[in-house]
Amino acid sequence: MKGIKYLESLSKFGVKPGLDRIKLLLSYLDNPEENLNVIHIAGTNGKGSTSAILTSIYKEAGYKVGTYTSPHITEFNERIRVNNENINNEDLGLLVKELKPAINKVADELEHPSFFEVVTALAFLYYYKQGVDMVILEVGLGGRFDATNVVDSLVSVITNVSLDHTDYLGETLEEITFEKAGIIKNQQKVITATKNKAVNDQLLKLSNEKNSKLININDEFDWIEYENNPSYQSFDLIGKDKNYLKLKLPLLGEHQIINTATAIEVIEVLKQKYPLTQENIKKGISKVSWPGRVEVIALKPMIILDGAHNVAGAKSLIKVLEKLNYNKLIIILSILGDKDVDGIVREIVPKSDKIILTKNNNYRVMEIDQLKSKVEKYNNNILVKGELKSALEYSLKEADYEDLILISGSLYTVSEARDLLTRE
């Protein structure tokens, strides 16, 4: 499709922190973002899941919800959705055509906007034309200089902070927290799920500087788990003022309970503007879908897809696996070279019975020989398959019904594997 090919061609302009280009681009489009009601979500992990939970709940309550997330797992169009429906190719093509003159003006006056800047501007224009009640807006990278940070949001969410994208955001938690807290606006509520005291203290300081109120959901909710299986988990959320009982979430892991609590706190903060019922919340949670995040796509053998592209994500994944019943664990692994490969490998590999090393198609992927040198420190039962398709075929032949095949290390690995497995 021409529109998507054009947008993907913009990747050659690289990652460009800064807001000058996106602001100028939006000005040529009459600033559609100024007419949107935005819930802005930053954080190292959990942004997408929290966005998906919020979308499902508000959609269940009858609101028209725009959701902007990245990267995509199945197709480009899923980055821009309204009520969980991807933007169609026709609308995408028309918007690209409308944007091109403005893009060229920005390129002449400053420099060419990046891929993410153009897609973000396109999304804002689409949501404005669609007349959505709200936009759930996921930050792409960091926060302070992210292209999404041109909105005046209703509420800011910073799910958590851990080490990731250190080449852009800084090498310490303090530096990364500062970047993510850049989305905080004056006199608003700021919601976080961090359990790190230093991160929380810095978020509190930065919120106070903006006369904003920080709410940590760990002070607001406790939870009781009472059912966990490969299809869903059930739990109660016990709040200070209100309880949410017998919630049934089709996403696995304690981290998803925390993301659910974060989403519910957003709903509580905005309940005057967007009223809904407990039944809306319960039904919305039961209908959540978020591909590629501890996603169980088969049972015999069990096949799980999970990006786990940083250490915190890898730790959350292992906690989920510890609650599942299986015989052998076969892991198909491919990781981007600019990630904390040693940290991810250290968390995941020791739990495996067999490791199949392969390569996804992203240009940043780590070469298999390099990855092997890191993996063999923890497990010598290694098999190399140069193509992901071959790795999948081998694992399906090797696995017994009671085994678990985990495909992990990168959302790009998961995306390619999901496409292959669901097609075939």
Question: Of the ranges 125-139, 218-232, 406-420, which is most confident?
Answer: 125-139
Residue 424 pLDDT grade (very low, low, confident, very high; cuts 50, 70, 90): low
> Mean pLDDT for the chain?
92
CB atoms under 10 Å from CB of 422, counted, come to 10
Identify the pLDDT of residue 17.
82
Pick the range with the lowest mean pLDDT from 36-40, 204-208, 336-340, 350-354. Answer: 336-340
Share of the chain above pLDDT 70, in %: 98
| Section 108-114 average pLDDT | 95
Ordered structural domains, the chain, with CATH: 2-286 (3.40.1190.10), 295-423 (3.90.190.20)
Identify the pLDDT of residue 102.
97
Identify the pLDDT of residue 171.
67
Identify the pLDDT of residue 163.
61
DSSP collapsed to 3 states, 70-82: CCCCCCHHHHEEE
Residue 220 pLDDT grade (very low, low, confident, very high; cuts 50, 70, 90): very high
Identify the pLDDT of residue 311.
87
pLDDT digits (tens, 9 = 90+) for 120-173: 999 999 999 999 999 999 999 888 999 999 999 999 999 998 765 545 555 688
| Section 103-107 average pLDDT | 97
| Section 178-203 average pLDDT | 93
What is the rounded distance in angstroms from the CA atom of residue 88 to the CA atom of residue 258? 32
- Which structure tokens are listed for 201? 């203290």
Residue 51 pLDDT grade (very low, low, confident, very high; cuts 50, 70, 90): very high
Share of the chain above pLDDT 90, in %: 73
Map residue 42 onto helix, strand or coil.
strand
Structural element, H or E, at residue 100:
helix 89-109
Check pLDDT > 90 for residue 2. Answer: no
| Section 198-208 average pLDDT | 93
| Section 388-408 average pLDDT | 94
- Which structure tokens are listed for 139? 């930050």
Tell which residue, 110, 114, 155, has the closest CA to residue 136: 155
Pick the range with the lowest mean pLDDT from 259-268, 285-294, 306-315. Answer: 306-315
| pTM tops 0.75, yes or no | yes
pLDDT digits (tens, 9 = 90+) for 161-176: 876 554 555 568 888 8
Residue appearing with tokens 């903060």 = 269
What is the rounded distance in angstroms from the CA atom of residue 335 to the CA atom of residue 302? 22
CA dihedral 160, 52, 3, 104 (to 10 degrees): -40
Give the angle subtended at the CA of 296 by the CAs of 292 and 302, to the nearest 5°.
130
- Say which residues have a Cβ less than 8 Å from residue 253's Cβ, sequence separation at least 6: 233, 294, 316, 317, 319, 320
Contact indicator for 134, 39 with CB cutoff of 8 Å: yes
Contact indicator for 141, 16 with CB cutoff of 8 Å: no
